[in-house]
Amino acid sequence: MSPINLVPSPILAKREARRRLRRWIATLGLAVAVLAPAYGVLARLAAARQAEVRRLTGQCVLMQQRLQGAEGLIQERDRLALRRAAVGRMSAGEPAAEILAMLGRALTPDSYLTVLSMERCDPVDAEEIEGPAGPQEACQPVLRLRGRAAGNRQVGEILRRLGTEPVLREVTLVSATDPGAESGPPEIEFELLCVLAGGARPDAPAAP
């Protein structure tokens, strides 16, 4: 004979539901027991990683501050070097009185100057360029002369006299033209470019 279950079906359904709930609770507890240690390990790893990131960030900020300080020191060193070079050039420069005396010796009795200009480098903006013989100044001190003489012979004599002066390194004739005056003695207009001692010859400008 097959047994006959006289328990009502609603009661059986409730019992089955309670058994399933207990199984789910046991499964969930087991999962929590397994995952809790893993979560703790992951949390500690994440905290350690964040601490390492904070430490590296602090080191990076400190290094940037040191680099900025070093850059400021380098800039200050360069400024001091330029000023020291400027002071050296000034102390080694020729006084204006000596240059005027030199021009007085070089000019012939029948010649005179109409324009006299001295071009020196800016002490702060002066820079150096690398040349075949080592560093050379990009800007060179020069003396520009414009005047008139009685003829080409006197212009040549002025060039010869200036070429013997130790104050000058090189003398270049930029132009020598006849102004074509209708009255008075004939004259030659000349322009000279003189490089002061200690500088390399700059490019001669074109005749005006």
User: Average pLDDT for residues 93-99, to the nearest whole number?
Assistant: 70
CB 139 within 8 A of CB 76: no
- Give 135 or 9, the one with higher predicted confidence: 9
Query: What mean pLDDT, rounded, does the chain reach?
Result: 76
User: Average pLDDT for residues 120-149, to the nearest whole number?
Assistant: 63
Q: Look at residue 164 in the predicted model and tell me its pLDDT.
A: 92
User: Average pLDDT for residues 151-169, to the nearest whole number?
Assistant: 92
Domain ranges of the chain: 7-92, 94-196
- Residue 133 pLDDT class (50, 70, 90 cuts): very low
* C-alpha to C-alpha distance for 175 and 207, rounded to whole angstroms: 6
Q: Look at residue 46 in the predicted model and tell me its pLDDT.
A: 83
CB 178 within 8 A of CB 127: no
Q: Look at residue 40 in the predicted model and tell me its pLDDT.
A: 77
DSSP for 128-192, please give it.
EEEETTEEEESS--EEEEEEEESSHHHHHHHHHHHHT-TTEEEEEEEEEE----SSSS--EEEEE
Q: Look at residue 203 in the predicted model and tell me its pLDDT.
A: 44
Task: Report the DSSP pairing between strands 134-137 and 188-196.
Answer: unpaired
Identify the CA nearest to 99 among candidates 143, 49, 35. 143
Strand partners, 74: none
| CA distances for 181 relative to 113, 160, 187, 192, angstroms | 17, 27, 8, 21
Identify the CA nearest to 142 among candidates 167, 107, 178. 167
- Residue 204 pLDDT class (50, 70, 90 cuts): very low
| CA distances for 78 relative to 56, 72, 74, 81, 127, angstroms | 33, 10, 6, 5, 11
Beta-carbon count within 10 A of 193 CB: 20
Residues 6+ apart with CB under 8 A from 27: none
pLDDT digits (tens, 9 = 90+) for 23-68: 888 888 787 777 777 777 787 888 888 888 888 888 888 888 888 8
Classified by CATH at the fold level, domain 94-196 comes out as Alpha-Beta Plaits (3.30.70)
User: Average pLDDT for residues 141-169, to the nearest whole number?
Assistant: 91
Whole-model pTM?
A: 0.46
- What's the chain's length in residues? 208
Q: Look at residue 105 in the predicted model and tell me its pLDDT.
A: 92
What is the DSSP-derived secondary structure letter of residue 73? H
- Residue 134 pLDDT class (50, 70, 90 cuts): very low
